[in-house]
Amino acid sequence: ILNVEQSPQSLHVQEGDSTNFTCSFPSSNFYALHWYRWETAKSPEALFVMTLNGDEKKKGRISATLNTKEGYSYLYIKGSQPEDSATYLCATNTGNQFYFGTGTSLTVIP
Amino acid sequence: NAGVTQTPKFQVLKTGQSMTLQCAQDMNHEYMSWYRQDPGMGLRLIHYSVGAGITDQGEVPNGYNVSRSTTEDFPLRLLSAAPSQTSVYFCASSKQTGTGSYGYTFGSGTRLTVV
């Protein structure tokens, strides 16, 4: 079992603020790191899949970085909008088994 | 393209009853899995399959059985429901296995209550 930790557990920001949160994972035997966005009453949707140390991915105002040597990934949201309100999950795998963190719940206040 | 279809969306069972949660995908994904989501616990892997005829246990397999007779379908069976199995269940599939280079596609979830 892999221990995947996310911080903070929850976050409230004003519309227009930029924010970031962290995913920590074991750095040994690393395969891949996934970020998912999970809106209330919906299913998680894949945001990014990162496999290489130093990877940076971007989708609109959301970006992510990966440091496999120290075992962490950051997710950044620039200029938060109310529609960004969701829980953001990260996951990593050992072979065929994926382990998820408990997520960061983001609320963007208009 | 329907993606991952889970049925039913809601279910109430009595302790000791059995049932099957259905999961089907139409993306020709080799990898399929079942997760349960409990408050404060995140998503925990129950069982997974890397292809038709192949299944394996995840983190919390006790009380559940799976089979994978076709690439498309991966049903989850609760053998004798217990209140501890009250949870939201998600089926997810992925294009590949092992390296984790592809993200999951999730079903819409099944909310199960055992009374």
Judge if the upstream peptide bond of residue A110 is cis by omega within 30 degrees of 0: no
Tell me the chain B residues in contact with residue A96 when contact means C-beta distances shorter than 8 Å.
31, 48, 50, 56, 97-98
Q: How confident is the model at residue B75 (pLDDT cuts 50, 70, 90)?
A: very high
Asked if B42 has any chain A CB less than 8 Å from its own CB, the reply is yes
d(CA A104, CA A81): 16
pLDDT digits (tens, 9 = 90+) for B14-43: 999 999 999 999 999 999 999 999 988 889
**Percentage of chain B exceeding pLDDT 90:** 87
pLDDT at A30: 86
Task: Detail the DSSP E strand segments found in B1-74.
Answer: 4-7, 10-13, 19-25, 31-38, 42-51, 54-57, 64-66
The predicted-structure confidence for A35-90, as pLDDT tens digits, reads as follows 999 999 899 999 999 999 999 999 999 999 999 999 999 999 999 999 999 999 99
d(CA B97, CA A74): 25
